[in-house]
Amino acid sequence: MKIWNKIPIKENGDKLIAIPGHLNFLDPHPYYYLGAPYQDKNSIWKLREEVVNRLVKVNDYLISNNNFFILIYDSWRPLEVQEFMFKRAFSLECEKLEIDASLENMKSYPSILKKVEKFWAYPSFDSSCPPPHSTGGALDVCFSDKEGNVVDMGSQVDQMDETSKPDFYENIVNEEAIIWNSRRNLLREVMNKFGFAQHPNEWWHFSYGDQLWAWKNKKANALYGKI
């Protein structure tokens, strides 16, 4: 459980809707491509209606003021997808450490679980602490250029190491680090401008209305539970 899971949820009933097609999406969807159990391909790119409205404003602002576009990497995740990706991350970490661990016995490896949970919310079916992406309020984004190419931000989305911290490059003085830090700052500033909160461990993860958003903004309650 994360510190923000202590925030109570008062579901406001905001609908889960399709993200407009004029926005930029990573294609193919990275988790669908890996075999994550979405019901169908058309159910992937969805968010809460208010989140979609704010995301459209983010993209319009960037187009008007910068040379970047928002590129959506991931959005709403059914709990089954969250479970699939969490277990996959656990298995890959075990392979990296040359540990033969059973998925049914994950809790016997607390240090590995702790590292995985730094980047992947535990797929809890407890309605009081849903994974952020399973609320429809969280999304993963990066920048693309005008040609649709992914812009280098200093680490890959979902990269499970210290370089994924939003401020990792802040005090590193070399040309590449300065550029990466500038791009991360721009992404955070624009997302914050339209009400989104950034995950403390992931430069790409932003949310509105979920428990993480409520915690970062000192709200009495979150607006979105599992959907």
Please give the structure tokens belonging to residue 89. 């991350």
User: Is the residue at 113 inside a domain?
Assistant: no
In a domain, 122, yes or no: no
The residue range of the domain holding 56 is 3-76+134-216
Number of domains in the chain: 1
pLDDT in tens, 152-188: 999 999 999 999 999 999 999 899 999 999 999 999 9
DSSP 111-170: HHHHHHHHHS------TTS--GGGGT-EEEEEEE-TT-PBPP-SS-TT--SGGGSTTTTT
CATH of the domain at 63: 3.30.1380.10
Q: Which of 50, 83, 93, 202 is catalytic?
A: 202
Asked, for residue 139, whether it belongs to a domain, the answer is: yes
pLDDT digits (tens, 9 = 90+) for 100-148: 888 888 888 999 999 999 999 999 999 999 999 999 999 999 999 988 8
Look at strands 24-25 and 69-74 and give their pairing: parallel
How much is the pTM?
0.95
Q: For residues 16 and 46, is the Cβ–Cβ distance under 8 A?
A: yes
DSSP assignment, residue 94?
Answer: H
Catalytic residue list contains 162: no
In a domain, 68, yes or no: yes
